[in-house]
Amino acid sequence: MAYIISSDAIKETLPGYDPKFAEKFHDISTKLADKKFEKALKNSSMKRVILMSGGSASGKSEYVSEYLKKQKIIISDGTSSSYNRANIKIEKALKHRKKLEIHAVWPTDFATAFEAFFSRDRQFSPEHFYRTHSKSRKTLLRIVRKYPEISITIIVSKYDENRKGQKMEFEVLTDTNRDKLIEFLEKNQYTEEEIKRSQRLYEI
Amino acid sequence: MKFKTLRPPSKSNRQVREYVNAIEKGRNSYFVVQNGKGWYVRKASIRTSNGKFFPTKSEAVDNARARALRRNSEYLVFNNKGNLLSRKPL
């Protein structure tokens, strides 16, 4: 079974936690998650480590629960939107000679992810959505450029209300050429303002 | 770039089920959105139309409240910068 470290799961253990005010508990839960990750690197015999990447409600935890949960992996299930924090995790994982991978989950469109984001129990401001989607992609691009040895998997989460059976599915990018990957990441960068504008919540 | 579809998630996956439920709930919600001339109310899932126009915020909010109530959903009010002003019911 995977050892999954999630700041959202940690939030639920904090005294006084109320999902309606999840944002207030975010800083402390991410710090605790980072400490837990560091401890796992030191103490676990598992060699494979995966850092998840992707904005809020992009489908990361759903991907982990479906495809990674049963494998022997240490998984940091977060947005990786802070370059500094992601970089520290990478350096620590490499120092402990772990086999490090990054799996980035992107939604097919921001609007669908936004619908899931504002409707689920734990609530954050829309700014948190714009910020994590923009910065997680920016961070990923910087990491890909800095660490050519780290394996990167790009996954696209798709929701189709007209599909029979399971309405959600995942697609994985099969092209592993690094230069093409960098080009792909460069083309798929968005500023917070661009993501915000795509929701058509003002000046319509 | 080439993509490969992974096997579909299991129907018993609670996490995926909750995510899909959240999207569906979100699609039934209403947005009250400000622009230069007044306020628009539109269903969250409608992306190509501005929605119904109201000259004042209170009229727009009343409309969104009534529609949300009928669908057992919620409504979110945004200002002219796209910032969330309020959300009902919380």
Mean pLDDT of A53-77: 97
Torsion of CA A127, A129, A132, A137, to 10 degrees: -120
Instruction: Establish if A165 touches chain B: CB-CB under 8 angstroms.
Output: yes
* Cα B28 from Cα B46, distance rounded (Å): 10
Q: Which of B43, B67, B10 is nearest to A115 (CA)?
A: B43
Instruction: Mark out the alpha helices in chain B (DSSP H runs).
Output: 14-27, 57-71
pLDDT at A204 over 60: no
Mean pLDDT of B79-89: 83
Instruction: List CB contacts of A105: < 8 A, sequence separation 6 or more.
Output: A52, A53, A54, A58, A59, A60, A63, A155, A156, A157, A170
Q: Shortest Cα distance from B64 to chain A (angstroms)?
A: 15
* Cα B46 from Cα A117, distance rounded (Å): 17
CATH of domain A3-196: 3.40.50
pLDDT at A11 over 70: yes
Q: Write down the pLDDT at residue A4.
A: 98
pLDDT at A203 over 70: no
Instruction: Using an 8 Å CB-CB cutoff, list chain B residues near A169.
Output: 5-6, 8-9
Cβ atoms < 10 Å from Cβ of A2: 18
Instruction: Establish if B86 touches chain A: CB-CB under 8 angstroms.
Output: no
SS (H, E, C) A54-75: CCCCCCHHHHHHHHHCCCCCEE
Q: Residues 4-63, chain A: which have Cβ within 8 Å of B?
A: 20, 57, 59, 61-62
Q: Give the domain ranges of chain A.
A: 3-196
pLDDT at A121 over 90: no
Tell the burial category of A69 from Cβ atoms under 10 Å away from its Cβ (0-12, 13-18, 19+).
middle
Tell the burial category of A92 from Cβ atoms under 10 Å away from its Cβ (0-12, 13-18, 19+).
middle
Q: Write down the pLDDT at residue A176.
A: 76
pLDDT in tens, A20-29: 899 999 999 9
Mean pLDDT of B20-29: 93
Range with the poorest average pLDDT among A11-25, A48-62, A84-98, B36-50: B36-50
Instruction: Using an 8 Å CB-CB cutoff, list chain A residues near B9.
Output: 62, 66, 166, 168-170
Instruction: Quote the mean pLDDT of chain A.
Output: 94
pLDDT in tens, A138-169: 999 999 999 999 999 999 999 998 888 889 99
Q: Write down the pLDDT at residue A202.
A: 67
* Cα A82 from Cα A89, distance rounded (Å): 11
Half-sphere exposure of A91 (CA within 13 A, CB side): 7
pLDDT at A134 over 90: yes
Chains A and B: how many Cβ contacts under 8 Å?
123
* Nearest residue on chain A to B86, alpha-carbon basis: A125
Name the token pair of A126. 């829309």
Cβ distance of A201 and B78 shorter than 8 Å:
yes
Q: Write down the pLDDT at residue A200.
A: 73
Going A159 to A139 to A88 to A116, the CA torsion angle's sign is negative
Name the token pair of A162. 């007209």
Instruction: Using an 8 Å CB-CB cutoff, list chain B residues near A161.
Output: 24, 27
* Cα A54 from Cα A60, distance rounded (Å): 7
Instruction: Mark out the alpha helices in chain A (DSSP H runs).
Output: 7-11, 26-43, 60-63, 83-95, 110-119, 126-146, 178-187, 192-198
Mean pLDDT of A125-132: 94
Instruction: Establish if A197 touches chain B: CB-CB under 8 angstroms.
Output: yes
pLDDT in tens, B35-71: 888 999 999 988 777 889 999 999 999 999 999 999 8
